[in-house]
Amino acid sequence: MLAAISHDLRTPLTLLRLRTENVENAEEQERMLATIAEMDAMIAATLAFARGEATAEPSRLTDVTALLASIVDDIADAGMPVTMDPAAPVVCDCRPAALRRAVSNLIDNAVKYGKAAHAAIAATPRTVEVSIDDEGPGIPEQELTRVFQPFYRLEDSRSRETGGVGLGLAIALSIVEAHGGELTLANRPEGGLRAHIALPR
Ligand SMILES: Nc1ncnc2c1ncn2[C@@H]1O[C@H](COP(=O)(O)OP(=O)(O)OP(=O)(O)O)[C@@H](O)[C@H]1O
Ligand SMILES: [Mg+2]
């Protein structure tokens, strides 16, 4: 349903874009086109997410330490500042492609808003704990839960420069919850944000 709605919204949006040609005020026209482009990006992101969710990936026994290391390697290879603590293998029953997406979104945020990402993994008797720390300003306490809402972005990251439509955390949360896990954000006492995933195993 989400995919169908997102898809159908594109036609009126295209009509709207065509109609801006009749707007005489050039500045107003430019603003309208910018808003339309923003809506288009939101719809594209929603569609991509809905499509991903629709292809339900089977669960399988996965070494989450190796998975995390491979995500970190891929992002580091792309020239981003991300490191990982060495850790022993931790095997758990999960959907690896979905988990990869959730963790990538968190690392992406840590690099984008927090200068650098530092990943760690640990096992307890019942859970797998993955944390992504950064060195940024963190998130104001009163916004810590709100940033999980789709399309919600903090004021200072609204500029299109940083890209993003505000779906990364919503997607990560939905994936972690589908695993029966928990995703939390907290400001670290020493500064920077910590995103923490706890998965049952
Ligand atoms: N590590 C972080 N440090 C500071 N602020 C953050 C951090 N992670 C997220 N935020 C804030 O939370 C908002 C929502 O994050 P989210 O990942 O959902 O969306 P996005 O990064 O803006 O876009 P997208 O992930 O869709 O590309 C961000 O715009 C930013 O304001
Ligand atoms: Mg993001």
Q: Beta strands 127-134 and 91-94: pairing type? A: unpaired
Asked whether the whole model's pTM tops 0.85, one would answer: yes
192 lines ligand 1 (CB under 6 A): no
Reference 124, options 35, 72, 40, 196; nearest CA is 196
Q: Beta strands 91-94 and 60-63: pairing type? A: antiparallel
Low-confidence ranges of the chain (pLDDT < 50): none
157 lines ligand 1 (CB under 6 A): yes
Where do the structural domains in the chain lie, given as residue ranges? 2-54, 60-200
What local confidence, expressed as pLDDT, does residue 61 receive? 96
Share of the chain above pLDDT 90, in %: 79
What local confidence, expressed as pLDDT, does residue 162 receive? 63
167 lines ligand 1 (CB under 6 A): yes
- Which pair of tokens denotes residue 118? 């530092």
Residue 192 falls in which region: left (phi positive, over 0), alpha (psi -120 to 50) or beta: left
Reference 195, options 129, 149, 142, 124; nearest CA is 129
CATH assignment of 60-200, given 3.30.565.10, 3.50.50.60, 3.90.550.10, 3.30.360.10? 3.30.565.10
What local confidence, expressed as pLDDT, does residue 5 receive? 87
Condensed to tens digits (0 to 9), the pLDDT of residues 118-130 reads 999 999 999 999 9
Condensed to tens digits (0 to 9), the pLDDT of residues 143-165 reads 999 999 998 999 776 665 666 88
Protein residues near ligand 2, an ion, with CB under 5 A: 109, 168
Distance 126 CA to ligand 2 centre (A): 29
171 lines ligand 1 (CB under 6 A): no
What local confidence, expressed as pLDDT, does residue 50 receive? 83
